[in-house]
Structure formats: structure tokens, C-alpha cells
Amino acid sequence: MRRLERPYIIVIEAPRFAPDGYPIEIGIAMDLSRLLFGKMVYSDGWVVDQPWLTKLFYAAHVPQDFRISALELILTEAQMAMWHDTKDRLVREMHLHRHRASDDAQLI
């Protein structure tokens, strides 16, 4: 039986959700590439996070040495439904009102 490994999850914080916005923490690009070298990481906001990562690594002139994919690829439909219900409940219980990467990371 194959041992299941814990997936790597990434959450991206940007100052604003706009095409011309600029990702913060440019210096993190080298650490991300080093720590996640050759790995696949998953995001619950892949559609938004992938462009920010591309912009981050391009601006930093650092190769992105890991891949990012949607969290949905490793969860079943039932697990995704449970994920959204659980996340919504935790947002209410934790009184979170703004979309922040730090809040998302805490929820995950």
C-alpha cells in the first residue's frame, strides 16, 4: 500500500487583485524555489495564484523550480464540497471579514 504524503499548499498575498498589481515580497522567490524545488504545490485559488507567481518570479529574475496546480486535482468532489463548507464555517467562527493570505493559510 502506498503511503500518502501531505500535499504542499501555497497561498499568495498580493496588494490588490488587478492585472497591473504587483506581488509583494519579491525576495521570497529564491526561498520558494529552494524549498519547493521539483515539487508540486496546490492552491485553492490557482486561477489567481498562478499569474501572481509568474509575475513574482519574472520580476525577481528567478526561475520557478516547482509547479503549482489546483487543489481540486487532489480532492474528490465530495471532499471539495466538504472543503468549502468547512472553510465557510471557519471563516464565520474566526470572524474573518477580509480575504487575506494569512487568514487563508491559517484556515488551510
At 104, list the grid cell: 487563508
pTM exceeding 0.75? no
CA dihedral angle for residue 77, residue 83, residue 89, residue 90, rounded to 10 degrees: 180
Q: Reduced to 3 states, what is the DSSP secondary structure of residue 8?
A: strand
Per-residue tens of pLDDT for the chain, all 108 residues: 456 677 777 766 655 555 555 555 666 788 899 999 999 998 888 888 898 888 888 888 889 999 999 988 988 889 888 888 888 888 888 887 666 666 666 666
Query: Nearest-CA neighbor of 19 among 60, 44, 48, 62?
Result: 48
Domain ranges for the chain: 8-107
